[in-house]
Protein backbone atom coordinates (compact mmCIF):
# COMPACT_ATOMS: atom_id res chain seq x y z
CA UNK A 1 0.00 0.00 0.00
CA UNK A 2 1.19 3.57 -0.64
CA UNK A 3 2.64 5.28 2.44
CA UNK A 4 1.44 8.84 3.21
CA UNK A 5 4.35 11.29 3.32
CA UNK A 6 3.48 14.67 4.83
CA UNK A 7 5.20 17.90 3.88
CA UNK A 8 4.49 21.62 3.78
CA UNK A 9 2.43 21.43 0.57
CA UNK A 10 0.23 18.48 1.60
CA UNK A 11 0.46 14.70 1.58
CA UNK A 12 2.08 12.48 -1.04
CA UNK A 13 1.35 8.77 -1.29
CA UNK A 14 4.72 7.14 -1.96
CA UNK A 15 4.94 3.44 -2.93
CA UNK A 16 5.89 1.26 0.03
CA UNK A 17 8.70 -0.51 -1.85
CA UNK A 18 10.23 2.83 -2.80
CA UNK A 19 10.36 3.97 0.82
CA UNK A 20 11.78 0.59 1.82
CA UNK A 21 14.63 1.14 -0.66
CA UNK A 22 15.09 4.78 0.35
CA UNK A 23 13.93 5.35 3.95
CA UNK A 24 15.85 8.64 4.21
CA UNK A 25 14.63 10.06 0.89
CA UNK A 26 12.71 13.33 1.21
CA UNK A 27 9.67 13.70 -1.05
CA UNK A 28 7.95 17.03 -1.61
CA UNK A 29 5.73 18.82 -4.10
CA UNK A 30 6.67 22.11 -5.77
CA UNK A 31 4.47 24.45 -7.76
CA UNK A 32 6.77 24.65 -10.78
CA UNK A 33 8.41 21.22 -10.98
CA UNK A 34 5.86 18.89 -9.47
CA UNK A 35 6.98 16.08 -7.16
CA UNK A 36 10.68 16.12 -6.27
CA UNK A 37 12.81 13.82 -4.15
CA UNK A 38 16.13 14.37 -2.40
CA UNK A 39 18.41 11.33 -2.35
CA UNK A 40 22.16 10.68 -2.66
CA UNK A 41 22.65 14.38 -1.92
CA UNK A 42 20.79 15.26 -5.14
CA UNK A 43 17.45 16.83 -5.94
CA UNK A 44 15.63 14.74 -8.55
CA UNK A 45 12.67 15.81 -10.67
CA UNK A 46 10.81 14.61 -13.77
CA UNK A 47 10.12 16.16 -17.14
CA UNK A 48 7.94 14.56 -19.80
CA UNK A 49 8.02 14.63 -23.59
CA UNK A 50 4.83 13.61 -25.42
CA UNK A 51 4.79 10.91 -28.09
CA UNK A 52 2.31 11.46 -30.91
CA UNK A 53 0.33 9.16 -33.17
CA UNK A 54 0.71 9.16 -36.97
CA UNK A 55 -1.51 12.26 -37.30
CA UNK A 56 1.09 14.20 -35.26
CA UNK A 57 -1.74 15.64 -33.17
CA UNK A 58 -2.94 12.88 -30.85
CA UNK A 59 -0.77 12.17 -27.80
CA UNK A 60 -0.54 8.42 -27.17
CA UNK A 61 1.93 8.57 -24.29
CA UNK A 62 4.83 10.43 -22.76
CA UNK A 63 8.44 9.64 -21.91
CA UNK A 64 9.64 10.34 -18.38
CA UNK A 65 13.08 11.96 -18.27
CA UNK A 66 15.25 12.62 -15.23
CA UNK A 67 16.46 16.08 -14.20
CA UNK A 68 19.00 16.19 -11.37
CA UNK A 69 20.77 19.00 -9.56
CA UNK A 70 23.00 19.64 -6.58
CA UNK A 71 22.88 23.09 -4.98
CA UNK A 72 20.87 24.22 -8.03
CA UNK A 73 23.60 23.11 -10.45
CA UNK A 74 22.30 20.71 -13.11
CA UNK A 75 23.93 17.28 -13.41
CA UNK A 76 23.49 14.98 -16.40
CA UNK A 77 21.50 11.77 -15.86
CA UNK A 78 24.52 9.78 -17.05
CA UNK A 79 26.70 11.25 -14.29
CA UNK A 80 23.98 10.67 -11.72
CA UNK A 81 23.74 6.98 -12.58
CA UNK A 82 27.54 6.66 -12.48
CA UNK A 83 27.41 8.08 -8.95
CA UNK A 84 24.73 5.55 -7.99
CA UNK A 85 26.89 2.75 -9.43
CA UNK A 86 29.85 3.88 -7.34
CA UNK A 87 27.59 3.80 -4.31
CA UNK A 88 26.48 0.24 -5.20
CA UNK A 89 22.82 1.22 -5.25
CA UNK A 90 22.24 1.32 -9.00
CA UNK A 91 19.21 -0.99 -9.14
CA UNK A 92 17.45 0.71 -6.23
CA UNK A 93 18.25 4.15 -7.63
CA UNK A 94 16.81 3.20 -11.01
CA UNK A 95 13.59 2.10 -9.30
CA UNK A 96 13.52 5.37 -7.35
CA UNK A 97 13.71 7.37 -10.58
CA UNK A 98 10.99 5.27 -12.21
CA UNK A 99 8.80 5.71 -9.12
CA UNK A 100 9.32 9.47 -9.28
CA UNK A 101 8.33 9.55 -12.96
CA UNK A 102 5.32 7.38 -12.21
CA UNK A 103 4.07 9.65 -9.42
CA UNK A 104 4.50 12.77 -11.55
CA UNK A 105 2.88 11.10 -14.56
CA UNK A 106 -0.20 10.21 -12.50
CA UNK A 107 -0.43 13.79 -11.25
CA UNK A 108 -0.40 15.22 -14.78
CA UNK A 109 -2.91 15.67 -17.59
CA UNK A 110 -1.76 12.58 -19.56
CA UNK A 111 -2.17 10.06 -16.74
CA UNK A 112 -4.48 7.88 -18.85
CA UNK A 113 -1.80 7.57 -21.56
CA UNK A 114 1.12 5.14 -21.80
CA UNK A 115 4.21 5.98 -19.77
CA UNK A 116 7.58 5.33 -21.45
CA UNK A 117 10.43 4.76 -18.98
CA UNK A 118 14.14 4.35 -19.68
CA UNK A 119 15.93 1.45 -18.04
CA UNK A 120 19.58 0.53 -18.53
CA UNK A 121 20.04 -3.05 -19.79
CA UNK A 122 22.57 -3.77 -17.04
CA UNK A 123 19.86 -3.08 -14.47
CA UNK A 124 17.57 -5.66 -16.06
CA UNK A 125 20.37 -8.21 -16.03
CA UNK A 126 21.37 -7.41 -12.43
CA UNK A 127 18.09 -8.80 -11.09
CA UNK A 128 18.60 -12.56 -11.13
CA UNK A 129 15.03 -13.67 -10.44
CA UNK A 130 11.48 -12.29 -10.45
CA UNK A 131 12.22 -9.66 -13.10
CA UNK A 132 9.85 -6.72 -12.81
CA UNK A 133 8.16 -7.95 -9.62
CA UNK A 134 9.29 -5.06 -7.40
CA UNK A 135 8.27 -2.42 -9.92
CA UNK A 136 4.97 -4.22 -10.50
CA UNK A 137 4.17 -3.78 -6.79
CA UNK A 138 4.99 -0.08 -7.14
CA UNK A 139 2.63 0.17 -10.11
CA UNK A 140 -0.11 -1.61 -8.20
CA UNK A 141 0.36 0.80 -5.29
CA UNK A 142 -0.46 3.60 -7.72
CA UNK A 143 -3.41 1.82 -9.35
CA UNK A 144 -1.62 0.89 -12.59
CA UNK A 145 -0.55 -2.32 -14.28
CA UNK A 146 2.49 -3.32 -16.37
CA UNK A 147 0.51 -2.90 -19.62
CA UNK A 148 0.40 0.85 -18.90
CA UNK A 149 4.19 1.04 -19.16
CA UNK A 150 6.75 0.74 -21.95
CA UNK A 151 10.30 0.00 -20.78
CA UNK A 152 12.91 1.55 -23.08
CA UNK A 153 16.28 -0.18 -23.43
CA UNK A 154 19.11 1.84 -24.97
CA UNK A 155 20.28 -0.16 -27.99
CA UNK A 156 23.88 1.06 -27.97
CA UNK A 157 24.29 0.14 -24.28
CA UNK A 158 23.46 -3.54 -24.67
CA UNK A 159 26.62 -5.56 -23.88
CA UNK A 160 27.20 -8.28 -26.48
CA UNK A 161 28.47 -10.73 -23.86
CA UNK A 162 25.23 -10.48 -21.88
CA UNK A 163 22.74 -10.44 -24.71
CA UNK A 164 21.34 -13.87 -23.84
CA UNK A 165 20.83 -12.80 -20.20
CA UNK A 166 19.06 -9.67 -21.38
CA UNK A 167 16.83 -11.70 -23.70
CA UNK A 168 15.82 -13.88 -20.76
CA UNK A 169 15.07 -10.82 -18.59
CA UNK A 170 13.04 -9.18 -21.36
CA UNK A 171 10.99 -12.34 -21.82
CA UNK A 172 10.18 -12.34 -18.09
CA UNK A 173 9.17 -8.69 -18.14
CA UNK A 174 6.95 -9.28 -21.16
CA UNK A 175 5.28 -12.24 -19.45
CA UNK A 176 4.30 -9.86 -16.66
CA UNK A 177 2.62 -7.60 -19.20
CA UNK A 178 5.25 -4.90 -19.75
CA UNK A 179 5.91 -3.70 -23.27
CA UNK A 180 9.53 -3.41 -24.38
CA UNK A 181 11.07 -0.75 -26.63
CA UNK A 182 14.55 -0.55 -28.12
CA UNK A 183 15.64 3.08 -27.83
CA UNK A 184 17.95 5.10 -30.11
CA UNK A 185 18.14 2.32 -32.70
CA UNK A 186 20.72 3.24 -35.31
CA UNK A 187 22.68 5.65 -33.11
CA UNK A 188 25.93 3.69 -33.24
CA UNK A 189 24.91 0.38 -34.74
CA UNK A 190 21.75 -1.36 -35.83
CA UNK A 191 21.92 -4.98 -34.79
CA UNK A 192 19.20 -6.88 -36.63
CA UNK A 193 19.98 -10.18 -34.90
CA UNK A 194 19.49 -8.47 -31.56
CA UNK A 195 16.06 -7.27 -32.64
CA UNK A 196 15.15 -10.81 -33.65
CA UNK A 197 16.15 -12.18 -30.23
CA UNK A 198 14.57 -9.42 -28.15
CA UNK A 199 11.41 -9.07 -30.29
CA UNK A 200 10.67 -5.53 -29.06
CA UNK A 201 7.11 -4.28 -29.17
CA UNK A 202 8.40 -0.85 -30.21
CA UNK A 203 11.59 0.39 -31.88
CA UNK A 204 12.52 4.04 -31.42
CA UNK A 205 14.70 5.27 -34.28
CA UNK A 206 17.52 7.58 -33.24
CA UNK A 207 17.32 11.21 -34.33
CA UNK A 208 20.37 10.84 -36.59
CA UNK A 209 18.19 8.89 -39.02
CA UNK A 210 15.51 11.54 -39.52
CA UNK A 211 18.16 14.30 -39.59
CA UNK A 212 20.00 12.42 -42.37
CA UNK A 213 16.91 12.73 -44.59
CA UNK A 214 17.19 16.52 -44.93
CA UNK A 215 17.59 17.18 -48.67
CA UNK A 216 18.59 13.55 -49.19
CA UNK A 217 16.11 11.49 -51.21
CA UNK A 218 18.14 8.28 -50.81
CA UNK A 219 18.05 8.59 -47.02
CA UNK A 220 14.32 9.21 -47.21
CA UNK A 221 13.78 5.99 -49.19
CA UNK A 222 15.98 4.04 -46.80
CA UNK A 223 14.02 5.35 -43.82
CA UNK A 224 10.80 4.05 -45.35
CA UNK A 225 12.41 0.68 -46.05
CA UNK A 226 13.67 0.47 -42.47
CA UNK A 227 10.20 1.20 -41.10
CA UNK A 228 8.75 -1.47 -43.40
CA UNK A 229 11.34 -4.00 -42.22
CA UNK A 230 10.60 -3.27 -38.55
CA UNK A 231 6.89 -3.66 -39.20
CA UNK A 232 7.75 -7.05 -40.68
CA UNK A 233 9.25 -7.95 -37.29
CA UNK A 234 5.90 -7.02 -35.68
CA UNK A 235 7.40 -3.93 -34.04
CA UNK A 236 5.79 -0.52 -34.01
CA UNK A 237 8.09 2.37 -34.88
CA UNK A 238 8.71 5.73 -33.19
CA UNK A 239 10.75 8.31 -35.09
CA UNK A 240 12.60 10.49 -32.57
CA UNK A 241 14.23 13.88 -32.93
CA UNK A 242 11.75 15.59 -35.28
CA UNK A 243 12.79 19.24 -35.30
CA UNK A 244 11.11 20.77 -38.35
CA UNK A 245 7.98 20.62 -40.47
CA UNK A 246 10.00 19.07 -43.29
CA UNK A 247 11.24 16.26 -41.05
CA UNK A 248 7.70 15.63 -39.82
CA UNK A 249 6.45 15.30 -43.39
CA UNK A 250 9.22 12.82 -44.20
CA UNK A 251 8.50 10.87 -41.02
CA UNK A 252 4.82 10.62 -41.91
CA UNK A 253 5.68 9.54 -45.44
CA UNK A 254 7.86 6.73 -44.02
CA UNK A 255 4.83 4.98 -42.54
CA UNK A 256 6.09 5.12 -38.94
CA UNK A 257 3.50 4.69 -36.19
CA UNK A 258 4.53 7.39 -33.71
CA UNK A 259 6.57 10.60 -33.59
CA UNK A 260 8.57 12.46 -30.96
CA UNK A 261 10.66 15.62 -31.11
CA UNK A 262 11.06 19.27 -30.18
CA UNK A 263 9.07 20.42 -33.23
CA UNK A 264 6.02 18.62 -31.80
CA UNK A 265 6.60 19.23 -28.10
CA UNK A 266 9.56 19.84 -25.80
CA UNK A 267 10.12 18.00 -22.51
CA UNK A 268 8.32 19.89 -19.74
CA UNK A 269 7.46 19.86 -16.09
CA UNK A 270 3.88 19.03 -15.24
CA UNK A 271 1.64 21.63 -13.65
CA UNK A 272 -1.72 21.57 -11.84
CA UNK A 273 -0.63 18.59 -9.77
CA UNK A 274 -3.28 16.81 -7.74
CA UNK A 275 -2.16 15.93 -4.20
Domain membership flag for residue 211? no
In this prediction, residue 11 has a pLDDT band, given cuts at 50, 70 and 90, of low
CATH number at residue 185: 3.20.20.450
* pTM (2 d.p.): 0.90
- Per-residue pLDDT, averaged over 82-103, amounts to 85
What total number of domains does the chain contain? Answer: 1
Domain membership flag for residue 238? no
- Per-residue pLDDT, averaged over 247-253, amounts to 98
pLDDT tens-digit profile of 208-242? 999 999 999 999 999 999 999 999 999 999 999 99
Higher pLDDT, 200 or 82: 200
Domain membership flag for residue 265? no
Domain membership flag for residue 259? no
DSSP string across 54-112: TTSSSEEEEEEEEEEEETTEEE-HHHHHHHHHHTT-HHHHHHHHHHHHHHHHHTSTTTT
Tell me the residue range of the domain where 178 lies. Answer: 43-66+89-200
Residue 35 has pLDDT above 60, yes or no: yes
Amino acid sequence: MPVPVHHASGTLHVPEDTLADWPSAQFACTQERGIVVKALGLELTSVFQPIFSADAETIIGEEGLLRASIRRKAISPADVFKSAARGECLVAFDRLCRSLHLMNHLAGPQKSKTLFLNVHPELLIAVEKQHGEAFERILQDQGLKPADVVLEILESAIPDAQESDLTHAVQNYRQRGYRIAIDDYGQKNANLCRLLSLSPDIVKLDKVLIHATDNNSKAQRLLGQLVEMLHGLDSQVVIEGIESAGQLAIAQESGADFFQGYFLAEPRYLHSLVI
